[in-house]
Every structure is written in structure tokens, then in C-alpha cells.
Amino acid sequence: MGRRLLIALGGNAIKRRTEEGTTAQQLSNVAITCEQIVKLIERQGEGDRIAITHGNGPQVGNLLVQQEAGSGIVPAQAFDVVGSMSQGQIGYMFQQTLQNYLKKAGGDAADVPVVAVVNQVLVSPDDPEFLDPTKPIGNFFSREEAEELARTQGYVIDPPAGEEYREEKRTGFVIKRVLPEGSSPKPYRRVVPSPDPIANVEGGTIRSLVDQGVVVIASGGGGIPVMKENDNGELKGVFAVIDKDKAGERMAEAIDATDFLVLTDVEHAMLNYGKPDQEPVGEVGLEEAERLLAEGHFLRGSMGPKVEACIRFVKWGGRRATITSLDNAVDAIDGKTGTHIVP
């Protein structure tokens, strides 16, 4: 078996922080990303395979606002359904754009099949995130706006961690102050649980497609979070957002990937990030990576989950996990740049 590469794309692959997020802007970013992916596909040897996953943060937040704005005209959809909408939206953009760029590349690349899959990821109802949600989503609110939402929508503001308000937390009706007091006129934001992914529900099907040489786009936005409703294993959606890198690692396991490539907006993970003595991390062994993570070098809300996902992948049996920027993808695969975690 050749190299099996799972590529996890960050938000900058779809929407830049300074952009509004119009269709044209998102397609332009997707095109830049697909150019890099085609370069990797063209370099594949016999038996090599590529699969792709991606985030959905800005898109799912915008869709949530649109649902609420139109709720007086048509019913707003449940959050897991909104997550599936974003998965379909982004998957379509990547599927079509990658197909077009492969045709432009010509040769064997022109015949490479691409498909985006609507994909569920299993989580546990006992995950501690359901007792204290942490993932911010959607727009910001003033204190007055937050109180109005609590009054009219049943939201809970800054609830204590633990069993109290458990059902409200599980259905997303939580608002927390996510910015320091006085730092902004709108310091409040909705937060939803971000449970740890257990398994990719359609992993076997995705593996079969990858085996056939299909470039599969799946587990978008961390996958649609679902849990088992009863002993028969029937599934139901849950109000949550799964970290896309951790879910991507589960997808990597499902397809028996040898390599895991996390593409973000920086060339390396950094030690002492933001300090005068910051320095890039090159290649490190598993134990060293675990030590650096435990020492707090990688922030929980940014680089931390990426490093943790890479550690999990190598622990599972992966050959190499790499973190780098989109424009350095090819050089990182060649070992010329990026942060690499190896056994």
C-alpha cells in the first residue's frame, strides 16, 4: 500500500478573516486551495491516496444567523441540520472546483474522481462538554441583547458548570461572556458543546471509496455530531460542534491513513508563541510533542487541538503528522518545512 494522506483544511482555505464571506470570495479561496491539492495529486505514486476534510466555523455561524432572521417567515432548522447545510455547501465548492482544476491539469489527473460526502461523527452523551460548553458560535451580543435572548428564547447566561441546566446546554441555549469585561460593547456570544469525536459513522464507506482511488471530501466542520439514541444504535443529531482536526484524525484512522497533513495559516507550530524568544517547531518525536503540549506551548483555542490531533494520529499508528501553511503544503510533504510529529 502506498501513502494515504488525509488533508485537514483550516478556515483560511475557505474564508479569510478580513472578508465578508460572499460566494465569490469563498470560491476564490477554494480555488487557491485546490491548486495546491492538485499539485499533491499529480505527485502521487502507484497506490497513493488522498482524502480531504475542512472546517466550517464562519459558514455555520452565518447560517445560524440567517435561520433566526427568517424564523418569522419559515421555521428555523435545528443546529445539527444547519451543520449539515454548511457541510454540503463547502463540500460542493471543493468538489466542483477540484474537478475543474484536475481537468485543467490534464493527463492522469483529469480522470481522478472526486466526491463530497454528507458525514456523521459519533459523540458520547456523557462527554463533559455537555456540562460546560466552550465553543463560541455566531455573532456577538451586548449584555442587553443577551438578556433579551434569555427572556424570549430561553437561553441561559453564564450557567455554572455541572448538571444544572444540562438539557439547556445540550440544546445550545447558552450564552457566555467570551471577552473581558469592558473590552468590548458586545462581549457575549453563544457557546455550544464541542465533544470529543469517537468514530466516523460512515468511515467504512469512505474507506471503500478511497480504496478505489476516489478523492473523498468528508467529515466537514468536524462532521455532523450524532449520538446513539438507544440500545439498537439508532442515531440522532445533537447541538454541538466537533473540532475538525480531531474529527479529521478519526477519519484518518477510518481510511487507514499513513500521513496526516493539517493546513492552517502559519508555517510552523511555535514554542513560546508571541514572545521575543518564540521559535518554530521542526520535527519532534511523540514523547517530545506530548511534553510540549503539556507545558502549554500551544494555545487551547488555536494550535492546541491541531497538535493534539497529530499526537493522537501518531499514537494510533500513523507514520507522520504535519502542520504547516497552505502555500507550503508541497514543501512540507517533502520535509522541507512545517512541524512534523513522528513516532
pLDDT per position as a tens digit, 67-124? 888 988 999 899 999 999 999 999 999 999 999 999 999 999 999 999 999 999 999 9
Same domain, residue pair 105 and 210: yes
The cell for 259 is 500521513
Task: Label residue 213 by pLDDT band (50, 70, 90).
Answer: very high
Residues 186, 142: contact at Cβ < 8 Å? yes
Same domain, residue pair 220 and 269: yes
pLDDT of residue 85: 95
**Whether pLDDT at 61 is above 90:** no
**pLDDT, tens digit, for every residue of 256-303?**
999 999 999 899 999 988 788 889 999 999 999 999 999 999 988 789
pLDDT of residue 77: 93
Same domain, residue pair 166 and 308: no
From residue 104, give the alpha-carbon distance in Å to each of 29, 33, 100, 110, 113: 18, 15, 6, 7, 14
Same domain, residue pair 33 and 56: yes
Q: How many domains does the chain have?
A: 2
**For residues 323 and 163, which has the higher predicted lDDT (pLDDT)?**
323
Same domain, residue pair 213 and 168: no
* Sheet strands side by side (includes 135-141): 135-141, 188-192, 174-177, 156-157
Last residue in a domain, options 194, 211, 235:
194
pLDDT average, residue stretch 194-210: 98
Same domain, residue pair 213 and 329: yes
Same domain, residue pair 145 and 117: no
Same domain, residue pair 284 and 176: no
Round to whole Å and give the CA distance between 79 and 226: 12
Q: What mean pLDDT, rounded, does the chain reach?
A: 93
pLDDT of residue 181: 79
pLDDT of residue 104: 97
Same domain, residue pair 135 and 188: yes
Same domain, residue pair 106 and 133: no
Task: Label residue 165 by pLDDT band (50, 70, 90).
Answer: confident
| Secondary structure E strands in 174-318 | 174-177, 188-192, 199-200, 215-217, 224-228, 235-237, 259-264, 270-271, 279-280, 283-285
The cell for 160 is 455554572
**For residues 20 and 308, which has the higher predicted lDDT (pLDDT)?**
308
Task: Label residue 182 by pLDDT band (50, 70, 90).
Answer: confident
pTM above 0.95, yes or no: no
Task: DSSP letter for 160, please.
Answer: P
Coil/strand/helix, residue 137: strand
Round to whole Å and give the CA distance between 58 and 64: 10
Give the CATH number of the domain where residue 41 resides: 3.40.1160.10
Last residue in a domain, options 149, 169, 194:
194
Last residue in a domain, options 136, 171, 194:
194
What DSSP string runs through 253-280?
HHTT-SEEEEEESSSS-EETTTSTT-EE
Q: Which residues constitute the domain of residue 161?
A: 128-194
DSSP H helix total and E strand total for the chain: 10, 18
Enzyme catalytic residues: 11-12, 135, 244, 306
Same domain, residue pair 183 and 133: yes
**pLDDT, tens digit, for every residue of 9-55?**
987 789 887 888 899 999 999 999 999 999 999 999 999 999 999 99
With a pLDDT cut of 70, the percent of the chain lying above it is 100
Same domain, residue pair 215 and 316: yes
